[in-house]
Structure 1
Amino acid sequence: MSRLKQFFVAFIPVTMLSASGCATHTIKQNGPMLEFVMQIPEAKSVVLATSYDDFVHHPVQRNKDNIWSITLHMPLATQPIRYFTVIDGIPILPECPLREPDGFGGYNCLYELKYTIAENGS
């Protein structure tokens, strides 16, 4: 079992029960660019992982108003994008209207793209 799978099997079930809904977020799409904006004022570090790049952890930046955001370029994305956050080292599923089981006892949020490769032409 890979290190990533071991991590999720050990931590996701517990954290999803205790921390689900702790992060408020929005997603803005502009073509192949997705901006994730999160309101988590008490957080010291935030990471975003998406299915687009096999759940690589991307550090999210905090602005002076304690708003965390990251913009990811996803030109070859297919429907839907699966994602979750890691807040202060703990995987946490933000509140999201669409979600699905992640295969490790927890869930991933889903984001339905507003375009497809064929529609966008890139």
Structure 2
Amino acid sequence: MKVQVTAILLFLLGNIVHSQEFKFEKEVINYGKITLGSDGIRTFEFTNIGDAPLIIKEIKSTCGCTVPKKPERPIMPGEKGEISISYDTKRPGGFSKAITIFSNAKQERKLLKLKGFVEKAIQ
């Protein structure tokens, strides 16, 4: 009997702990063709569609040319949030980068992507 009660409590606790969830407007940002040295800041917008506060613990990028900025406070249920990404547009050519978000959501790791092509300025 004790084993059954313990198992039920652990199951319920597991569901409570992971009842936060992201819903992103876009999971890929396509910069398209942009000019060398232009503004490389873009934003991933999302909503917490869960029923508990969503906490973004950390965001890692695949290289130093992509700098993410996470929300500093928890995102409450139903609330919108955003993750800003700054890409170094002083590097000409095509790019395809990813960031990984670590959070307390059901899916603890979430991968988002950026892509585009930085053109040299016409002189």
What range describes the TM-score normalised by the shorter chain of this pair? 0.3 to 0.5
Structure with the larger strand share: 2
Structure with the larger helix share: 1
Structure exhibiting the larger radius of gyration computed from Cα positions: 2
